[in-house]
């Protein structure tokens, strides 16, 4: 059983439908995609009683909706205002919204991406088992634009009522060793975790570029194209690095010198150009994999 939930009045900034993506298809050249900040998306779904992988909206703000059926919703992720009929409501908690209400999710004050979940989850015709929009592959099962009506499934679990979830901030981001860690000098790998990195202007769902201390190679030459995973840290010819996010390609030709842990990828998905990032090593993993580091 499904129902009309809301009509998009204003599509907002970079608003897409996301779930947990399309795992297990990389051998066919299909990336996983899915929510850029998985933890924030799962939290929004939990608040309205959905399974963690239910489809929801990912947006960077200025999203306006007209609710056409009573529903519960929750907004998580970046620090942004949520208003219903002009009245501010808490993000990070479940909110009942009667039909006929106007919902607006404003542009974030800090952070980059918000998640808006509805009880029952957004439904539609999946592509390869998912409703996620993949900006790299051009897979768009549900287009979010003005005038579109979103449908949701039947709610099966009661919403969760807790104090508002705080926005997560991290002093440092954990990295694991990559398959080409030894392609960098020991000095460069040490400076990677002692110096700050600055988020560059190249930030999207595919990846995030970080500028900092130029990394020096210990091994020169080209790398044959090889598999990439979410969080892979590629070393660019300039000595800078790029971290792969949700819509990353399945292969790449730059050496992967490290891999960002899952929680760290969620944190990077909320970073804006100009912000500072600092890494820390997962000490046990580095000791096991590379005794020289």
pLDDT digits (tens, 9 = 90+) for 170-206: 678 999 999 999 999 999 999 999 999 999 998 999 9
pTM here is: 0.93
CA 61 to chain centre: 15
Average pLDDT over residues 68-72: 95
Pairing, β 149-153 against β 122-123: antiparallel
Close Cβ partners of 27 (under 8 Å, ≥ 6 residues apart): none
Position 221 pLDDT exceeds 90: no
Name the residue ranges covered by the structural domains of the chain.
2-153, 173-289
Q: Residue 284 has what pLDDT?
A: 60
Instruction: Specify the pLDDT at position 162.
Output: 67
- Residue 285: band (very low, low, confident or very high) from pLDDT cuts 50, 70, 90: low
Per-residue pLDDT at 166 exceeds 80 = no
The residues, any chain, with a CB within 8 Å of residue 56's CB and separated by 6 or more, are 17, 18, 19, 35, 41, 44, 45, 50, 115, 116, 117, 118, 121, 122
Domain 173-289 fold:
Cyclophilin (2.40.100)
Bridge partners (DSSP) of residue 152 are: 3, 122
Give percent above pLDDT 90 in the chain: 80
- The pLDDT assigned to 156 comes to 72
- pLDDT tens-digit series, residues 6-18: 999 999 999 999 9
Task: Kindly state the tokens that stand for 224.
Answer: 């044959």
In this predicted structure, what is the pLDDT of residue 158? 72
* Model confidence pLDDT, tens digit, residues 85-112: 999 999 999 999 999 999 999 999 999 9
Q: Report the alpha-carbon angle 209-210-212, nearest 5.
A: 150
Is residue 79 within 8 A of residue 60, CB to CB? The reply is no
C-alpha span between 252 and 168 (Å, rounded):
31
């Amino acid at each position: 059983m499904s129902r009309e939930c809301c009509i998009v009045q204003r599509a907002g900034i970079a608003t897409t439908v996301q779930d947990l993506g399309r795992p297990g298809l990389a051998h066919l050249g299909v990336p996983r995609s899915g929510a850029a900040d998985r933890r924030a998306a799962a939290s929004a779904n939990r608040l309205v009683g959905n399974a963690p992988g239910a489809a929801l909206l990912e947006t960077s703000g200025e999203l306006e909706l007209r609710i056409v059926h009573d529903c519960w919703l929750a907004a998580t992720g970046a620090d942004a205002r949520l208003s219903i009929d002009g009245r501010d409501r808490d993000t990070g908690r479940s909110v009942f919204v009667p039909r006929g209400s106007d919902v607006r999710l404003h542009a974030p004050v800090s952070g980059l991406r918000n998640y808006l979940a509805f009880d029952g989850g957004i439904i539609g015709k999946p592509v390869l088992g998912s409703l996620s929009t993949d900006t790299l592959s051009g897979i768009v099962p549900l287009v979010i634009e003005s005038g579109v009506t979103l449908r949701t499934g039947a709610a099966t679990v009661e919403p969760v009522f807790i104090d508002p979830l705080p926005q997560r901030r991290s002093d440092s981001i954990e990295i694991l060793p990559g398959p080409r860690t030894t392609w960098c000098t020991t000095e460069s790998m040490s400076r990677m975790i002692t110096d700050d990195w600055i988020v560059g202007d190249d930030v999207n769902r595919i990846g995030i570029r970080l500028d900092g201390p130029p990394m020096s190679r210990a091994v020169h030459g080209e790398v044959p194209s090889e598999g990439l995973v979410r969080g892979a840290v590629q070393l660019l010819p300039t000595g800078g690095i790029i971290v792969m996010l949700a819509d990353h390609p399945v292969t790449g030709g730059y050496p992967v010198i490290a891999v960002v842990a899952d929680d760290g990828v969620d944190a990077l998905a909320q970073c804006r150009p100009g912000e500072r990032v600092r890494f820390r090593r997962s000490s046990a993993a580095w000791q096991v994999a590379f005794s020289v580091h």
